[in-house]
Structure 1
Amino acid sequence: MQITEIFFDCDNTLVLSEELAFEACADLANEILEANYISERYTGSQLIIDFVGQNFRGMMMSLQQKFGFEIPADKLEEYVTKEEDKVIAKLEAKAKPCEGASEELEKLFASKKYGLAVVSSSALRRVRASIEKVDQAKYFDHDKVFSAASSLPKPTSKPDPAIYLYALEKVGKTAAETVTIEDSKSGALSAVRAGIPVIAYVGSYVGEEMQKKMAQVLTELGAKVVMWHWSEFEDCLRAIENGTTAEVNSSL
């Protein structure tokens, strides 16, 4: 398999942003629940457990289904914009890169062997704020940052494969020429449904037990190989290209 294009999820794959983002939107989610007479309340940590990998729109859809209420379309758009503003403020103040991610991006960019693109569920403003804050935007052409919330004619969220299919079309590549790095169940499933080989990155999860658990979960969903740290990226990519992923995953 000859890989010529590499897709990257953003949140907690390139940038340690999930905890900041969920912290910022917990208050808003609770405000929405209270306005709809729902007694349940969430902390940022609880939102991560239930909704990691989904964008805010997807989270609101899930909450409406879970608790049986409906947010009018115009009101939902107000909430989406409000959440973006809150999260972006947090990211611009505190976001940091995932350990080793920037170093690998620098190597890949310098090699000129691969096309590089970001494929995220998050709103485009948020993705750009994240990669600009940690000085990673320079590795991606402006038109190669894709958002399921902003780039598609009809906004959606992973695990819907629409954003990956859209990104493939825009970069002019087939799934077989591409690999993606994902850290969440919804993200991995989105890529798998689009036929794209997945490197499961678990280095952003806290604690060895959680990393092992997510490695197993993402592998069962169809990820080809597990990456525990960004320093292992070249080996993971080579394993996919050579079809030797089973040997790498045998250590799980």
Structure 2
Amino acid sequence: MSIPDLSGVTTVLLDADGTLFPSEEPAFVASAVVTEEFARRFGLRGDFSAEHLRRTTTGKNFRTTAQDLAARQGVPLTPAELEDWVEREKSAVTAHLGQVLTPRPDVVAALTALGRRYRLAVVSSSALTRLAACFTASGLDALLPPECRFSAEDSLPRPTSKPDPAVYRFALSRLGLAPSQALALEDSVTGAASAVAAGITTAGLVQFVPPDERAERTGRLRRAGAAWVCSRWQDVACDLLGTPARVGP
């Protein structure tokens, strides 16, 4: 696919998990423990392993996953019960990601280069506390400070999750942007669908997707509406700036 005309783009809207840092696999390791406890508490049946959850729910937050699991099996879930389990999962995953993530020089270099030309913001399904832990551990606080982070879990009047486009529309409104002034970067199909539904030109990135899944993910991202798909952060910088980001001093 050819890169579309981006001359009107002033802002790059970045997904977080699986896009800015390789957090999907470790997040699901921690989340699966809570999900399995949740399933036992409500008598839910199914595969709640970390790998199955990663393959079937990437791009969604735990709130949506828990609601979907309960609804599919006809199990009633009160708002108070849901909030309790959302907080449990958030705490477990945040603590784990804060311990295992480390700075990625290639990501830092690309974002630094992009930030010289574009305004950068984060649009994620994850909670702000989880994002804060990930950004600190990944060395991205200075490049993407709290005021430019938008969470489908915490920023909206009613928590939701991608593929609902609400969080992208909210970010556009807060940043004073028309959809044509933004470019979204997403690793997941649900995330790409969310941005595309908000009318935003979207690029895919599969750097942190497991190697044996990249070809399939690339195809699915394109079918979800991604204008093109990049293999590495260096490619993102090259496509948007015309030159690869330089890693190191």
TM-score, length-normalised on structure 1? 0.89
1:179 to 176, 179, 183: 183
- Tell me if 1:102 matches 2:108: yes
Partner of 1:220 in structure 2? 223
Partner of 2:155 in structure 1? 151
CA contact (8 A) 2:102 2:139 kept: no
* Higher deviation after alignment, 100-109 or 181-190: 100-109
Partner of 1:63 in structure 2? 69
Q: For 1:1-252, list aligned pairs within 5 A.
A: 1-97=7-103, 100-109=106-115, 111=116, 113-207=117-211, 209-237=212-240
CA contact (8 A) 2:13 2:121 kept: yes
Q: Which runs of 5+ in 1 are unaligned?
A: 240-252
CA contact (8 A) 1:13 1:98 kept: no
After TM superposition, the runs of 4+ consecutive aligned structure 1 residues lying more than 3 A away are 96-99
Deviation at 1:20, TM superposition (A): 1.3
Q: Which runs of 5+ in 2 are unaligned?
A: 1-6, 243-249
Query: 1:143, 1:216 → 2: CA distance?
Result: 34
- Give identity over the alignment, percent: 33
Query: 1:8, 1:97 → 2: CA distance?
Result: 17
Deviation at 1:98, TM superposition (A): 5.8
Query: 2:123, 2:103 → 1: CA distance?
Result: 16
Deviation at 1:68, TM superposition (A): 2.0
* Higher deviation after alignment, 229-238 or 162-171: 229-238
Deviation at 1:100, TM superposition (A): 2.2
CA contact (8 A) 2:21 2:208 kept: no
Q: CA RMSD in A?
A: 1.5
Query: 2:193, 2:80 → 1: CA distance?
Result: 30
Deviation at 1:66, TM superposition (A): 2.4
User: Amino acid of the residue matched to residue 136 of structure 1?
Assistant: L
CA contact (8 A) 2:114 2:237 kept: no
SS of residue paired to 1:122: coil
User: Amino acid of the residue matched to residue 216 of structure 1?
Assistant: G
Greater fraction of residues in helix: 1
User: Amino acid of the residue matched to residue 153 of structure 2?
Assistant: A
CA contact (8 A) 1:12 1:98 kept: no
Deviation at 1:203, TM superposition (A): 1.2
CA contact (8 A) 1:5 1:115 kept: yes
Q: What CA deviation, in whole Å up to 9, does each residue of 1:117-172 have, x standing for no partner?
A: 01000011101111111110111242110000000000000000000000001111
